[in-house]
């Protein structure tokens, strides 16, 4: 896949407010937050969309979820609640083609989402 903005953040070519990093996952604050807390969890290995995920990526997807839940616990809003979202392709509202899990928290979420 072609290089994305998020790959450039991983390589520290673009600044980002990084809140978590390990061997597989990077997390940073969204530049246009849609809630008081809005963090993106991305795999360091770039995958364009959820449609491109293979069975061998199952552990990696789990790591994104676990990193988000750990962050929520550490920041103290896990019990209050939060939302995780992954947008896929045009109708899903995806704008950066490097999969990412949005973590939104700090306000009451509504359903259905827009």
List the catalytic residues.
Answer: 100
Please report how close the Cβ of residue 49 comes to ligand AMP at its closest, in angstroms.
Answer: 9
Is residue 69 involved in binding ligand AMP (CB under 6 A)? no
Q: Which is nearer to ligand AMP, 16 or 79 (CB)?
A: 16
**Which position among 32, 55, 59, 91 is part of the footprint of ligand AMP (CB under 6 A)?**
32
Interface residue with ligand AMP, options 11, 13, 14, 66 (CB under 6 A): 14
Residue closest to 76 by CA, chosen among 37, 44, 49: 37
Residues in contact with ligand AMP by the rule CB under 6 A: 5, 14, 16, 28, 30-32, 40, 87, 93-96
């Amino acid at each position: 896949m072609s290089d994305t903005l998020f790959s450039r953040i991983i390589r520290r070519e673009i600044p980002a407010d990084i809140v978590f990093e390990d061997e597989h996952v990077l997390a940073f604050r969204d530049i246009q937050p849609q809630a008081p807390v809005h963090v993106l969890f991305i795999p360091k290995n770039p995958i364009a969309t959820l449609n491109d995920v293979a069975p061998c990526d199952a552990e990696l997807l789990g790591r994104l979820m676990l990193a988000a839940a750990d962050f929520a616990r550490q920041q103290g809003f896990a019990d209050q609640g939060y939302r995780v979202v992954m947008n896929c392709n045009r109708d899903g509202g995806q704008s950066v083609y490097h999969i990412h899990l949005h973590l939104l928290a700090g306000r009451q979420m509504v359903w259905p989402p827009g």
